[in-house]
């Protein structure tokens, strides 16, 4: 039976094209910079190919704040122009904009907590990098080197 399966896999075109990579990533881990304040660093993605809603939306714009890990899912139409998307993002940032903190004592306490949080994030990031780099090596290429790309 084992040989039958091996023969089938060897002859199957799809099985030959879709293979799992068992090789470790060879380059060193480079963590992203730590955001200083909320909405300082965000990531965005578009989920398309969805069925239309009653309001004719057929896509979702996903916006994630990297510091707070807050995710916002905005229903949009996949053919929206850049100006419409810019207007939506302005309204989102106005809605989520900086809150006014009053009182010097509250500001001092908040700054202390932010400092502690940044130190903890840096320490965790450093630990993650050292763990990830344990079995990796730095890759350096020179001009005219032949490199296999996937």
Whether residue 11 has pLDDT greater than 90? no
> Same structural domain for residues 77 and 110?
no
| Judgement on whether residues 42 and 66 belong to the same structural domain of the protein | yes
- For 28-76, what is each residue's pLDDT tens digit? 777 888 887 787 888 899 999 899 999 989 999 999 988 888 899 999 9
Q: Give the span between the Cα atoms of 34 and 40, in whole angstroms.
A: 10
CA distance 100 to 108: 14
Q: Are residues 130 and 86 in the same domain?
A: no
| pLDDT the model gives residue 24 | 65
* pTM for this predicted structure: 0.50
Q: Are residues 50 and 37 in the same domain?
A: yes
**19 three-state secondary structure:** coil
The answer to the question of residue 38 being in a domain is yes
Shared domain for 45 and 93, answered yes or no, is yes
In this prediction, residues 118-135 reach a mean pLDDT of: 87
Task: Please enumerate in sequence order all residues whose Cβ is within 8 A of that of 93, keeping only pairs 6 or more positions apart, or say none.
Answer: 39
pLDDT at 16 over 90: no
**Mean pLDDT across the chain:** 82
Q: Which domain holds residue 129?
A: 100-134
Of 61, 90, 85, the closest CA to residue 73 belongs to 61
């Amino acid at each position: 039976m084992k040989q039958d399966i091996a023969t089938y896999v060897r002859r199957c075109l799809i099985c030959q094209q879709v293979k799992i990579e068992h090789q470790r990533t060879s380059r060193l881990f480079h963590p992203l910079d730590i955001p200083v304040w909320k909405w300082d660093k965000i990531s965005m993605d578009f989920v398309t190919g969805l069925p239309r809603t009653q309001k004719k939306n057929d896509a979702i714009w996903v916006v994630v704040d990297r510091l707070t890990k807050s995710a916002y899912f905005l229903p949009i139409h996949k053919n929206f122009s850049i100006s419409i998307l810019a207007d939506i993002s302005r309204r989102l940032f106005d809605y989520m904009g900086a809150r006014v903190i009053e009182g010097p004592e509250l500001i001092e306490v908040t700054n202390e907590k932010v400092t502690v949080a940044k130190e903890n994030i840096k320490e965790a990031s450093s630990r993650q990098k050292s763990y990830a780099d344990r079995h990796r090596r730095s890759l350096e290429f020179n001009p005219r080197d032949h490199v296999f790309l996937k």
